[in-house]
A = this chain, B = another copy of it.
Amino acid sequence: MSDLREQVLAASLALIEERGVGSLSLREVARRAGVSHQAPYHHFAGKEAIVAELVARGFTRLSEMLEAAERARGEPARRLRLAARAYVDFALGNPAVFRVMFRPELADLSACPAAAAAGTRAYSVLVRLVEERFAGPRVSPERLGVITTMHWSMVHGLATLLLDGSLGKRAGSAMAADALIERTLDTFSIAAGSLVTPTPRAS
User: Is there an interface contact between B154 and A153, defined as CB atoms closer than 8 Å?
Assistant: yes
> Which of B99, B164, B171, B201 is in CB contact (< 8 Å) with A145?
B171
User: Is there an interface contact between A195 and B184, defined as CB atoms closer than 8 Å?
Assistant: no
Interface positions of A from 117 to 157, Cβ below 8 Å from B? 119-120, 123, 142-143, 145-150, 152-157
Interface positions of A from 156 to 192, Cβ below 8 Å from B? 156-158, 160-161, 164-167, 170-171, 174-175, 180, 183-184, 187-188, 190-192
Interface size class, chain A: 35 or more
User: Is there an interface contact between B102 and A166, defined as CB atoms closer than 8 Å?
Assistant: yes
**In the complex, what distance in Å separates the CA atom of A99 from the CA atom of B99?**
11
User: Is there an interface contact between A199 and B198, defined as CB atoms closer than 8 Å?
Assistant: yes
User: Is there an interface contact between A152 and B146, defined as CB atoms closer than 8 Å?
Assistant: no
Is A106's beta carbon under 8 Å from chain B? yes
User: Is there an interface contact between B164 and A153, defined as CB atoms closer than 8 Å?
Assistant: no
Find chain B residues with CB under 8 A from A184 CB. 146, 149-150, 153
Is A104's beta carbon under 8 Å from chain B? yes
Find chain B residues with CB under 8 A from A153 CB. 153-155, 157-158, 161, 167, 184
Given contacts A104-B165, A106-B22, A195-B191, contact A171 B157 (CB under 8 A): no
Q: B-contacting residues of A (Cβ < 8 Å)?
A: 20, 22, 99, 102-106, 119-120, 123, 142-143, 145-150, 152-158, 160-161, 164-167, 170-171, 174-175, 180, 183-184, 187-188, 190-192, 194-195, 198-199, 201-202
Q: Would you mind naming 9 contact pairs between A and B with Cβ atoms under 8 Å apart? A: A20-B105, A22-B22, A104-B165, A146-B171, A147-B187, A150-B188, A150-B191, A194-B194, A199-B199
